[in-house]
Structure 1
């Protein structure tokens, strides 16, 4: 609404006339259409008018309280929401003192606003043409939502800042000219600078000179909008020493898509690099020692094999002499020898014969390592059937039930794997001879990995597990010669063959309850070397 006035009357006189009673309806109409909260008081502080916007902001309308109690009456606090604002510091009160107060941020909390609201207030004194104070006007603006949003943003920024500053990674921001715009605490400690020393410096001030070329290449990728990860990248500390880092950087763009810089995360991997280098050195040293040890073992094995072969052949001559002369004794002097003498000669001949068999076993055992390994697909089931037929044909009078799993095929040397089955199934045949019905089984079960565990099981004499460590030793036997014949090299031979096939072998048994021998093939990366 426009206030009618005489063009000859100055503008100040219009403001003065609004405090006259006849003009107050016009004043209220103007204030009611305002988008701000407005209030008017006279020179004595009596409230003449307050519009609806001001009521909503303050929570209360007109009051007949004196100016000294305004703050308590409306519940006005400073922006910290805890400290009451004295009435004499209120903008309206100060305006009544003739002061042109600046805008003030305040907070009101009362029965209408139990949670409180933020607002901004500004008051100004109104005087007549002679300078006499007529009263004051107050304008209010609701800033609660704005303050809440700003507080939320500040809280988010504080959390982000806390997160960034407490991160155990270096954070580094640069502008489009590669000048530092931000670094966190961890990065400056990593490089030995202060924040002030790093600000505005370019990346090249902190990069090893040898890496400047590759750095420019990464910068070109950043300009094209591509992120990059720089592995094993060297940065230079303030003291001139270099550290190895892993840097992951991402380009930054403004709303129009223009490149404005980059943000990078920097990880110090110096200790990791040193540890990796130590591991490499240890591996190199270990490989050297293993190679030396392997060469020594191979040399020792060759020497032992040569010694065994030589000894075995050299022993044959005296054994032949013993056998020949004892035979002559039996043939030419039988009538002169009494029963005791004949028994002695027979014992000598039996011992010589057994010695010959042991020599053959030693030679056979040493040949296992000398035979070239020729690997093919071997049908172990067919080999087991062949061995079982061979055993049964040797003693047709025995009742033995063979259970052989079909379809067991694996990689290996057919000749050596047959030797394994001949020894294991031969032992099962031997140690079940006292059973009226013998049970011998060959099969496989899933192993811990992707391979199989093969086994030969019987219901024979078994063995005491307390002595299982003696099973695969040369000439080590768990039964006497009188109980079960043998030379004590069969299982040692089997173990050598299995080791040459990168596998393991072990036995389980119980006295009188039978035994099970299990083995794997191609399971171990480094099988133990076979020894004599």
Structure 2
């Protein structure tokens, strides 16, 4: 055992030494490769920027060609069509736009302003203003945006930085860049100018170029976001800074977000390029330590070597322990499998629902006692038979019974008719699912069979009873409708038959009073007056009875109602009929509900009219219409009533006060009850003699919430 330990330590030391030597030599090689890769990436990125600027130059050359091909200065529409055709947003995303700068003397500026005015483009304003020997005014700029009005008319020639590049482009006939400057829109950037001459062929001499120059096609390049907008991708491990060194100094053109001039130990590589009259220096900086992809492999190799050495030392010591644990685990798994198998067998055996296990051909491999009871056969007789053969009709979906494979973890359900061994047909509900396991297993599907015959029959009986009940309800509805029509006819007949004798009584009584006034004494005249009053009261009672009967028959129209406004109108009418009375009326604002406007107006007229009537003998009379929860309430401090007789209030012709005290027909509250019930609500009353009364009711729709005070 001791020798084994010494050998293990020796192997570990030798292995660590070899891994260290290999790591040092390979690390140096990978560092050199990483530096070469860094320089290559920098050179490639610099060339990519040059290629992008070359594409911008070609777009400006196209604008120059447009001017050379036209007999006169291109129109705004032609210029816009050319720029739209370039599709700057997709083809040249780093380019902010393309414009045309006219090279003008004072007389040429006046002609341009006159032409623009005659063309209907308005007054062409030059900025900055002032008289100068030469102008370089921006005439066209596309694409247009919110900042375009500040660009058109700007004299580029008035700025020394711009003029230097414009003169260089004029004298050389080539495209020139400006030094870094602030663009007209306020952003930092540079401008690119391409000269436009009056002739299609470029003049040879510098003097001829100055004489034949018409203007420049220019394009602004915004420094911020130039790399991302131009589609020039800077690698995550590489930072870039561009510096203009044309005049001997250093002017920053742009820098990527990760470039840090104060970073210590970072590798830096510079590339100098001369582009369109400017000399740019590209400073490339690594944002992290240089490393090639092989460094990670070396680290992994080193880690693996160390780990392998340690594992080799531990393997022998752990083999015996591992074998012991494997044997213990195998015993536990076998025991767990046996318990799981027993639970499944118990579930199959004692389940009240029939269960069958099917093979790939749909044959029954195993079944439970409940399935044997449903089929009327023994479990032994079921084994080996085709499950599909026990059904009356073929399956609508073959996969539902296992004859075809279906999607795993999906339960397929169906209702079918199963024929028992004794010929009885039973309604069963099937729930079939695939069983996960070995592809060579003889069991592939579990089907649960539930006998739902009694439930189906009960549902059929319920449906039959429902049809019978609907027929009875329809019959009773017809009988009720016929009874209502008969009652309506009876009411009109009674009112007509009763009114005829009443009119005779009233008419002959009036004739007696008028013709035999001198013959009849005072007592006779009083008798005749009582007869006429009784006839008039009987006629009013007939009208009230007919009015109450119409409440249940009229057309019902539900709509939103403003109960506060209705109550105010009813109180105003009561004050007009009895202007001498002083009653304190309080109505909550914002009371609303839904219902029939005519019926609800009748309801409020009866309740508020009763409150007005029964407070006639009360000093400091008060009436209130408020809401408490879902209830509307009409309160008064009038005569009130005995709570013992509250049940009579809503019956027709029931009175709790004498007629000589308070007038009325006794049908108002009965009408109120019918209106509330027709709206699906309820009504109740409470009161005490001499202490007022409160009537509360609800409608079908609950009232709106009470507004905060």
Normalised TM-score (structure 2): 0.48
Q: Is the 8 A contact 1:235 1:243 kept in 2?
A: yes
Distance 1:473 1:262 in 2: 73
Question: Does 1:163 find its partner at 2:340?
Answer: no
Q: Is the 8 A contact 1:460 1:515 kept in 2?
A: no
Distance 1:382 1:477 in 2: 30
- List runs of 5+ in structure 2 lacking aligned partners: 1-325, 703-709
Q: Within 5 Å, give how 1:70-85 maps onto structure 2.
A: none
* Residues 284, 457 of structure 1: alpha-carbon distance in 2 compared, 3 angstrom cutoff: farther
Distance 2:429 2:637 in 1: 64
Q: Within 5 Å, give how 1:115-130 maps onto structure 2.
A: none
Q: Which residue of 1 aligns with 2:13?
A: none
Distance 1:173 1:378 in 2: 68
Question: Does 1:495 find its partner at 2:678?
Answer: no
Structure 2 residue aligned with 1:179, among 345, 349, 363? 363
Q: Shift of the alpha carbon at 1:299?
A: 0.8
Question: Does 1:198 find its partner at 2:382?
Answer: yes
SS of match in other structure, 2:653: coil
| Segment drifting more, 383-392 vs 266-275 | 266-275
Structure 2 residue aligned with 1:325, among 508, 512, 518? 508
Q: Which residue of 1 aligns with 2:635?
A: 457
Q: Is the 8 A contact 1:223 1:259 kept in 2?
A: no
Q: Shift of the alpha carbon at 1:214?
A: 4.0
* Residues 430, 152 of structure 1: alpha-carbon distance in 2 compared, 3 angstrom cutoff: same
Q: Is the 8 A contact 1:455 1:519 kept in 2?
A: no
Distance 1:167 1:434 in 2: 83
* Residues 243, 325 of structure 1: alpha-carbon distance in 2 compared, 3 angstrom cutoff: same
Q: Within 5 Å, give how 1:223-372 maps onto structure 2.
A: 223-225=406-408, 227-255=410-438, 261-372=444-555
- 1:108-131 deviation line (CA, Å, top 9, x unaligned): xxxxxxxxxxxxxxxxxxxxxxxx
Q: Which residue of 2 aligns with 1:22?
A: none
Q: Shift of the alpha carbon at 1:444?
A: 4.1
Q: Shift of the alpha carbon at 1:360?
A: 0.8
Distance 2:440 2:618 in 1: 90
Normalised TM-score (structure 1): 0.63
* Residues 268, 359 of structure 1: alpha-carbon distance in 2 compared, 3 angstrom cutoff: same
Q: Within 5 Å, give how 1:426-445 maps onto structure 2.
A: 426-445=609-628
Q: Is the 8 A contact 2:594 2:699 kept in 1?
A: no
SS of match in other structure, 2:545: helix
Distance 1:404 1:430 in 2: 18
Question: Does 1:518 find its partner at 2:697?
Answer: yes
Q: Shift of the alpha carbon at 1:415?
A: 1.6
Q: Which residue of 2 aligns with 1:472?
A: 650
Distance 1:241 1:443 in 2: 70
Distance 1:231 1:396 in 2: 80
Q: Shift of the alpha carbon at 1:321?
A: 1.5
- 1:225-264 deviation line (CA, Å, top 9, x unaligned): 3624435433333322222233322212325699952223
Instruction: Kindly report the root-mean-square deviation, in angstroms, between the aligned alpha carbons of the 2 structures.
Output: 3.1
- List runs of 5+ in structure 1 lacking aligned partners: 1-141, 447-451, 524-532
* Residues 217, 163 of structure 1: alpha-carbon distance in 2 compared, 3 angstrom cutoff: closer
Aligned length: 375
* Residues 229, 403 of structure 1: alpha-carbon distance in 2 compared, 3 angstrom cutoff: farther
SS of match in other structure, 1:247: strand
